[in-house]
Structure 1
Amino acid sequence: MTYKSLMCILRTAEGDLAHLDHAVRLARRYDAHLDVLCLGVDRVQVGFYYAGATALVAENSLAQAETDARELKDFVTKRLDETDIRWSAEAMIVQWGAIGPAIEQAARYTDLVILPRPYGDIRGPEDEAITEAALFLGPTPVLTVPPGWANDAPVDPVIATNQGPEAIAAVRAAMPGLEQVGQANIAIVDPPRHGPERSDPGGALSMMLARHGVRAEVSILARTMPRISDVLVRHVQDRKADLVIMGAYGHSRLREAVLGGPTRDMLAEAPVPVLMAR
């Protein structure tokens, strides 16, 4: 089992492009093909003109989206021509309201999608929509890369699990990397006192990993901070870990958008790449 088809999505060439560089490293490590999707987003919605808008506004918006996508493709071509990997780049123009179906179609046959963190100074609602579309509509495992990340292969991954189905889906999606590393830390925050694994939290997952040649240790973490993400981030920093593997959106996306939750918080604040799946 390995990754053979990777996808990286770019919406802008501004700011940090650590996710593109990391996608190149992954393609080289797994001898995989890298598809780069260069998005130009048309933000004027047909049928939803604001007061005073004209057809010229829509035409200008579409033209700008086409220019953005074309310039992104040119940028990517120059950058990847200097690498030794197999790759392709596609310019795509998409309306804001159609980001989901476009990403679903593009990511459906991909093993892993590599994206920037969807929250930050130069990020917008499009980035969050792209991440959620890949996870929910693909559905495809997503690896988000923080700004400035330059490490190559992970050597100390942390599996953050609540022992739910999303977490196990993420572990399965991460198995090619885990098998290469040969070890992992299983982090469980306040495991339930009543449940099928109450006497041995993480035991079944450890056995699953062992059968894949991955030696696992289990860390039971007390929830001593207000948010689960705070506990996980501190654990990652204490271990000097370099990857977090976790399930995405155990709660509804609406609840996490309004109240916050581990998925949203880790996407915004994790100091290392995060591999998520559903």
Structure 2
Amino acid sequence: MVYKTIVAVLQDEDDAGRALDVAVAFAQRSDAHLIGVHAEALPVPIASPMGFPDAALMGAEEDMSRERADRLEKLFSQRMKRESVSWEWRSMYSFSGDSALSALESARCGDLVVAGQVDPEKGAAGSPDIETLIQGAGRPVLVVPWRGTATTSAKRIVVAWNGSRQAARAAFDALALIVEADETTILSVDPVANPGEQGALPGAEIAAALARHGARVTVENRGSGDQSVAETIAQVVTDKKADLLVLGAFSHSRLKEMFFGGTTRTTIENPPCLTLLAR
């Protein structure tokens, strides 16, 4: 699939540049239309010590939200004017103020969604809800790590494969990138633990399917040992010097991952590189 409509979710002005670096590069590569989305929270009624609405404080909060939205729009539009990219800006207000939630309608009509992971030290308030974006958009989500320089190429790709529907969706959502890559590794972690979904030779069938499209594919099976599956995947990404990780999201229930942890949640919180997640 060629990405012709790309939606960039921009929540925090300090981290928007990293997400835009990736979104612009992908848009230029496929001559795509780039949509920037940002949301601010609607004013919340605040009571004064006397119990009456504090109009002054509410007005100050509204002014701060409007100014932040204006700064992000200016950052986006100035960047777009320097690039040869078709673009538009969508500024929204919602009760949550979460740009990921507000972007769902736009994301569902796009080919690819780009969301930047915000510095964890800023807390949850500064970060878009990437989990909800993955669950609700129905489109592949490209997560840009907050650390390091944003990677805008995908020459070496690792596809995490467990034979699930989500893994298949992610692999084919990334097909355009996989076909262009110099090397793609189909990685199965602890395949013996789940032989029913992966067949007699884990990863072999999906590798053959991708190869028919012209992809240069190798298969690797690795045991996790004392590590978690997420840690093992991250180690392979490091070993391969991969530019992109492709991962099927929430192949276990989200409730199970919420209580017990899981590969998806760990990867979202600490992506080892640029990561495409699909469900």
Length-normalised TM-score, structure 1: 0.88
With over 3 angstroms needed to count, the CA separation of the structure-2 counterparts of 1:138 and 1:245, relative to structure 1, is same
SS of the equivalent of 1:212 reads: coil
Q: Distance in 2 between matches of 1:151 and 1:207?
A: 27
In 2, are the aligned partners of 1:72 and 1:91 still within 8 Å (CA)?
Answer: no
The more displaced of 54-63 and 2-11 is: 54-63
With over 3 angstroms needed to count, the CA separation of the structure-2 counterparts of 1:196 and 1:256, relative to structure 1, is closer
% identical aligned pairs: 28
In 2, are the aligned partners of 1:17 and 1:116 still within 8 Å (CA)?
Answer: no
Length-normalised TM-score, structure 2: 0.88
With over 3 angstroms needed to count, the CA separation of the structure-2 counterparts of 1:277 and 1:29, relative to structure 1, is same
What one-letter code is carried by the residue in structure 1 that aligns with 2:208?
A: M
Q: Distance in 1 between matches of 2:102 and 2:64?
A: 18
With over 3 angstroms needed to count, the CA separation of the structure-2 counterparts of 1:103 and 1:15, relative to structure 1, is closer
**In the alignment, does 2:133 pair up with 1:134?**
yes
In 2, are the aligned partners of 1:158 and 1:244 still within 8 Å (CA)?
Answer: yes
With over 3 angstroms needed to count, the CA separation of the structure-2 counterparts of 1:31 and 1:97, relative to structure 1, is closer
With over 3 angstroms needed to count, the CA separation of the structure-2 counterparts of 1:269 and 1:122, relative to structure 1, is same
Aligned to 1:95: 95
Aligned to 2:143: 144
Aligned to 1:162: 162
Q: Distance in 2 between matches of 1:172 and 1:224?
A: 29
What one-letter code is carried by the residue in structure 2 that aligns with 1:88?
A: E
Q: Distance in 2 between matches of 1:50 and 1:112?
A: 45
Structure 1 unaligned segments of length 5 or more: list them.
none
SS of the equivalent of 1:238 reads: helix
Q: Distance in 1 between matches of 2:52 and 2:7?
A: 36
Aligned to 1:33: 33
Q: Distance in 2 between matches of 1:53 and 1:242?
A: 55
Q: Distance in 2 between matches of 1:53 and 1:221?
A: 63
Q: CA deviation at 1:165?
A: 0.4
In 2, are the aligned partners of 1:96 and 1:126 still within 8 Å (CA)?
Answer: no
Q: CA deviation at 1:249?
A: 1.2
Aligned to 2:24: 24
Aligned to 1:54: 53
**In the alignment, does 2:196 pair up with 1:195?**
yes
Aligned to 2:211: 210
SS of the equivalent of 1:245 reads: strand
With over 3 angstroms needed to count, the CA separation of the structure-2 counterparts of 1:238 and 1:182, relative to structure 1, is closer
In 2, are the aligned partners of 1:8 and 1:20 still within 8 Å (CA)?
Answer: yes
Aligned to 1:112: 112
Q: CA deviation at 1:103?
A: 2.2
In 1, are the aligned partners of 2:41 and 2:98 still within 8 Å (CA)?
Answer: no
Alignment of 1:76-87 (within 5 A): 76-87=76-87
Q: Distance in 2 between matches of 1:259 and 1:123?
A: 21
Q: CA deviation at 1:126?
A: 6.2
Q: CA deviation at 1:251?
A: 2.2
Q: Distance in 1 between matches of 2:201 and 2:171?
A: 18
Q: CA deviation at 1:71?
A: 1.9
Aligned to 1:178: 178
Q: Distance in 1 between matches of 2:241 and 2:52?
A: 53
Q: CA deviation at 1:105?
A: 1.1
1:88-122 CA distance string (max 9 Å, x none): 22222222178665222121101001011256223
Q: Distance in 2 between matches of 1:271 and 1:196?
A: 26
Q: CA deviation at 1:10?
A: 0.9
With over 3 angstroms needed to count, the CA separation of the structure-2 counterparts of 1:28 and 1:261, relative to structure 1, is same
Aligned to 2:229: 228
In 2, are the aligned partners of 1:43 and 1:96 still within 8 Å (CA)?
Answer: no
Q: Distance in 1 between matches of 2:83 and 2:100?
A: 30
With over 3 angstroms needed to count, the CA separation of the structure-2 counterparts of 1:145 and 1:97, relative to structure 1, is closer
